[in-house]
Amino acid sequence: MAVTSATQTAATTTSAASATTRSTIASNFDTFLQLLTTQLKNQNPLDPLDTNQFTQQLVQFAGVEQQLRTNDSLEALVKLNQSSQLSTAMNYVGATITADGATSALKQGVATWYVTAPRAASATINIQDSTGNVVFTQETTMEAGTSSFTWDGKKSDGTTAPEGQYTIKINAKDATGAGVTISTQFSGVVDAVDLSGSEPLLMVGTALLTLDKVKAVQRASTTTPTE
């Protein structure tokens, strides 16, 4: 099992851009303060700065300061959230998950999907390989609810399909002949975590999944040997 590291270039660029923006705002902030102080020192005693105008400038001054603090707080929250997501994603490595999707891995002669039908229907199940070719077809009836469908890797011609990624396609109709939409989920082991993007992705075979796609997690039970 491997973990794909995030590219350092993107992170460095983002950090540099953030630092530049903060530096620019801080510079403008200091310049504004200097201008305001200079204005107060050099105002005409016979025609002092208008109170309303002075108050308005102070409000702008406070707004800039508040924005700086808000930006720093938001940046800290984003980093905390990313760290939490990374920690959560790493815990999935080695676990068997169930997630939304139609593509599952055929390993050791077994590929499993979970199919959900809103109502009873007659269905044609097609299994396609990674190139889109139909390698297996089965006619069946489906009851309302969720059930599992396991394929043993045997093609329609009786030969054994090689291990790899296979996609299930289901065409279903109810008793009136109306089409029925069948939702599918697949089950597989998380091999790695891809950290190259803005959020971690779970790698199940060749599939990449966000954490919100995971519906169930299962780990193999371990037993302590007894003497």
Eight-state DSSP code of residue 44: B
Question: Which pair of tokens denotes residue 194?
Answer: 């891809």
| pLDDT of 139 | 95
| pLDDT of 212 | 83
Mean pLDDT per 10-residue segment, the chain (227 residues): 41 50 58 71 68 68 70 66 70 86 89 93 95 95 93 94 94 95 90 81 82 81 48
Query: What is the residue whose two structure tokens read 């303060």?
Result: 33
Q: What single letter denotes the amino acid at residue 16?
A: A
pLDDT tens digits, 47-94: 666 666 666 766 776 676 677 677 766 776 666 565 666 777 788 888
Query: What is 116-145 written as a DSSP string?
Result: EESS-EEEEEEEE-TTS-EEEEEEEEE-SE
What predicted TM-score, i.e. pTM, was given to this entire model?
A: 0.56
- Kindly give the pairing relationship between strand 179-180 and strand 183-189: unpaired
Which of 123-127's residues contact partners 24+ apart within 8 Å by CB, and which partners? 123/170, 123/171, 123/172, 123/173, 123/180, 123/182, 124/170, 124/171, 124/172, 125/149, 125/168, 125/169, 125/170, 126/168, 126/169, 126/170, 126/171, 127/151, 127/166, 127/167, 127/168, 127/169
- For domain 98-188, say whether CATH 2.60.40.4070 is its number: yes
| pLDDT of 131 | 92
Query: What is the residue whose two structure tokens read 């007659």?
Result: 122
Query: What is the residue whose two structure tokens read 């070719």?
Result: 133
| pLDDT of 114 | 92
